[in-house]
């Protein structure tokens, strides 16, 4: 850590001090936290999902309903990456901070379940989950894992065991509302927290992007770790434009071990 630039070192130490002193710290994560696990983000030039595809044409509820084959053709490579991904040091650091009582919850915009795989217990999934599938006809819900394997390996579109209609991954597509229970929980956490740490989110997608402002409006501190600017950088106590999977373990070590 001593070889790092002094400004970065100071920011790491300050971030750790804020976490250690907090009574109710909440994490908000976006796609940037999972890129080190091999899952692409959405907006990075050349590698982001939306740099290659038009989201409303491939990832909308309308496409799923009218052209399910088009949706699943687009979704298959992403599902494969998620199916095979493992948590990186950033996910593990957050799970450790929760295990030691420094983090109360993780609010995530991701559908990759990597926080849960890393050991985080209180995870609020704002954009749904890959853990389950729901029938588009009879709404029967199943665990995704038995269906994801054949889909990833052979492109076999999952069908409902009850009525044989197509199963939809329980992720939020364009044109769908956020899951209301998750949204209410996230707002409650944002309003109760005295510290919010944003990791890997450009804070461009509403309404989730407004959660840090709710924390700030109630006197909470804000830490942002992201490789691009956000609209709240000017309001944050700490801003780190460093590699998340490298910086977060350093912060975690300082919080837990001093």
Please list the active-site residues: 127
β-pairing verdict for 238-240 and 123-125: unpaired
Q: Residue 167 and residue 119: Cα distance in Å, rounded?
A: 28
**Residue 14 per-residue DSSP state:** H
**81-100 as b/e, with b when 16 or more CB fall inside 10 Å?**
bbbebebbbbbbbbbbbbee
CB atoms within 10 A of CB 131: 16
Structure tokens at 144: 């995704």
Q: Residue 110 and residue 117: Cα distance in Å, rounded?
A: 13
Q: Residue 225 and residue 32: Cα distance in Å, rounded?
A: 10
Quick one: which of 93, 91, 90, 32 has its CA closest to 254? 93
Helices and strands (H, E) in the chain, number of each type: 11, 9
**DSSP states along 200-242:** S--S-STTGGGHHHHHHHTT-EEEEE-SS--TTGGG-SEEE-S
Place of tokens 């588009």: 136
């Amino acid at each position: 850590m001593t070889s790092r630039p002094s400004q970065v070192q100071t920011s790491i130490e300050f971030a750790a001090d804020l976490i250690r002193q907090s009574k109710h710290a909440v994490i908000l994560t976006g796609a940037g936290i999972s890129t080190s696990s091999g899952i692409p983000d959405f907006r990075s030039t050349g590698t982001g999902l939306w740099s290659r595809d038009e989201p409303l044409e491939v990832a909308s509820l309308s496409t799923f309903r009218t052209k399910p084959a088009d949706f699943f053709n687009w979704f298959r490579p992403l599902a494969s990456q998620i199916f095979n991904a493992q948590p990186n040091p950033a996910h593990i650091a957050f799970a450790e901070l929760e295990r030691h009582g420094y983090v109360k919850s993780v609010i995530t915009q991701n559908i990759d379940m990597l926080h849960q795989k890393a050991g985080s217990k209180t995870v609020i999934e704002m954009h749904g989950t890959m853990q389950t599938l729901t029938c588009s006809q009879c709404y029967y819900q199943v665990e995704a894992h038995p269906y994801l394997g054949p889909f990833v390996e052979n492109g076999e579109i999952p069908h409902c065991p009850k009525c044989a209609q197509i199963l939809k991954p329980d992720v939020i597509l364009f044109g769908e509302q956020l899951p209301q229970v998750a949204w209410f929980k996230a707002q409650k956490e944002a309003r109760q927290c005295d510290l919010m740490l944003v990791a890997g989110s450009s804070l461009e997608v509403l309404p989730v992007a407004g959660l840090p402002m709710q924390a700030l409006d109630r006197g909470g501190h804000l830490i942002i770790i992201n490789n691009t600017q956000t609209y709240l950088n000017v309001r944050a106590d700490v801003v780190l434009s460093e590699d998340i999977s490298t910086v977060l373990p350093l912060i975690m070590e300082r919080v837990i071990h001093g």
